Amino acid sequence: MGEPMIEIKGLCKSFETKNGRVDALQNIDLTIGRGDIFGVIGMSGAGKSTLVRCMNQLERPDRGQVLFDGVDLCALPAKELRQARRQMSMIFQQFNLLEQRTALQNVCFPLEIAGEPKENARARGRELLQLVGLTEREGAYPAQLSGGQKQRVAIARALSTNPKVLLCDEATSALDPTTTASILALLQKINRTLGITIVIITHEMSVIEEICNRVAIIDRSAIAECGRVDEIFQNPQSEAARKLVYPEGRAARQLIGRRCLRIVFDGSSSFEPVIANMVLACKAPINILFANTKNIEGRAFGQMVVQTPEDQALVERMIRYLHAQNLTAEEVSGYVE
């Protein structure tokens, strides 16, 4: 991880409800590096949207610090906080475009508020619409645009103030898989060409695997696990991480008479001959229950779940064999199709 762009230290946030106090975030410590595409993932209600709103101070934390490029946003007076927020733009699930404005006018809106001369704002707006692939739609109103086009306009608008960070709160949740893939590719292009740090809030592991280099898993208002996406995929340490990365998101469950191994490879070797050679070397059959591949940061990763014999010594021998082939292998307590 490079130089920190966002550092969160001891952050806590609670809300008072009619049913009493709810602790939305508890002692969050998190560092997001400059230039990262950083994912925050968790189930609904885990606290991830509250966390992103605390990052830009739309929600004021009860305790803790949010350091943005070395400056504690929690300690800034209102005027300085508004100036700092211009460097931290946000896009949302529902686009939030102004229906009575064209695509170009929507992109120019933040610049108009900032007092930018009209011609300068329009030139910048056209430049950004070209970046997101909507040059020919500058005169279209939101009602005339598809969901993917609306999100592209929202992204262009978010970039109009030249931010250092782009916060994406469930930005692809309302989109179909093909459109989601195109939006994620656009965000990756923006990160690479403009050097903008991107924070992606999502409940979909496929989004994290597609473009993020690091991820924090939030569970029950706390950080369950944080690290490189490929490392967590290969060797999840927390129960929350295992639920996300195990096949189809299904955590292993105890089944009488079943023992299973989860085997992970990173594309440097093919798992079919390795498995065949393991069967020959250990002189014991296995039953393949599941196998798939994933693209994580442009690298092919795969996982396989196999049912093994009941003999503990034989299972340990299989694990040693797989480790010798530089594959990640762990015994899980069962697997349900």
58-73 per-position pLDDT tens digit? 889 999 999 999 999 9
Tokens of 253: 């469950």
d(CA 278, CA 285) in angstroms, rounded, equals: 9
- Average pLDDT of the segment spanning 266-287: 76
Which comes out higher in pLDDT, residue 109 or 279?
109
State whether 264 and 321 are in the same domain.
Answer: yes
d(CA 108, CA 158) in angstroms, rounded, equals: 10
State whether 154 and 273 are in the same domain.
Answer: no
State whether 299 and 163 are in the same domain.
Answer: no
State whether 89 and 139 are in the same domain.
Answer: yes
State whether 44 and 146 are in the same domain.
Answer: yes
d(CA 143, CA 154) in angstroms, rounded, equals: 14
Strand (E) or helix (H) holding 189: helix 177-194
Which comes out higher in pLDDT, residue 299 or 213?
213
State whether 217 and 253 are in the same domain.
Answer: no
Beta-strand ranges (E) seen in the chain are: 4-17, 20-33, 37-41, 63-68, 71-72, 88-92, 165-169, 197-202, 214-219, 222-228, 259-265, 287-296, 299-308, 328-332
Q: Encode pLDDT of 19-34 as tens digits.
A: 888 888 999 999 999 9
d(CA 89, CA 310) in angstroms, rounded, equals: 55
pLDDT of residue 20: 83
pLDDT of residue 38: 95
User: 214 has which bridge partners?
Assistant: 38, 228
Is 24 among the domain residues?
Answer: yes
State whether 155 and 93 are in the same domain.
Answer: yes
Least confident of 22-31, 50-59, 129-138, 287-296: 287-296
d(CA 218, CA 40) in angstroms, rounded, equals: 7
State whether 76 and 139 are in the same domain.
Answer: yes
Confidence of residue 201 (pLDDT cuts 50, 70, 90): very high
State whether 191 and 308 are in the same domain.
Answer: no
CATH number of the CATH domain containing 89: 3.40.50.300
State whether residue 160 is helix, strand or coil: coil
Q: Which domain holds residue 35?
A: 4-240
Calculate what percentage of the chain has a pLDDT beyond 90: 41
Q: Encode pLDDT of 304-327 as tens digits.
A: 888 888 888 888 888 888 888 888
State whether 140 and 177 are in the same domain.
Answer: yes
Is 337 among the domain residues?
Answer: no
User: Among 207, 240, 273, where does a domain finish?
Assistant: 240
Average pLDDT over the chain, rounded to an integer: 85
**Statement: residue 14 has pLDDT above 80:** yes
Q: Helices 177-194 and 147-159: crossing angle, nearest 10°?
A: 20
For residue 299, which amino acid is it? R
pLDDT of residue 316: 86
Q: What is the separation of C-alpha 175 from the centre of its chain, rounded to a whole number of angstroms?
A: 16
State whether 233 and 258 are in the same domain.
Answer: no
d(CA 197, CA 232) in angstroms, rounded, equals: 21
State whether 267 and 169 are in the same domain.
Answer: no
CATH number of the CATH domain containing 322: 3.30.70.260
- The number of domains in the chain is 2
Taking alpha carbons only, the member of 209, 249, 210, 252 closest to residue 232 is 209
User: Among 240, 264, 285, where does a domain finish?
Assistant: 240
User: Among 187, 218, 240, where does a domain finish?
Assistant: 240
Considering the entire predicted model, what is its pTM?
A: 0.81
User: 6 has which bridge partners?
Assistant: 32, 68
Which comes out higher in pLDDT, residue 251 or 193?
193
Least confident of 31-40, 62-71, 132-141, 242-251: 242-251
Which comes out higher in pLDDT, residue 306 or 89?
89
Is the CB of residue 91 less than 8 Å from the CB of residue 171?
Answer: yes
Is 310 among the domain residues?
Answer: yes
Q: How many residues does the chain have?
A: 337
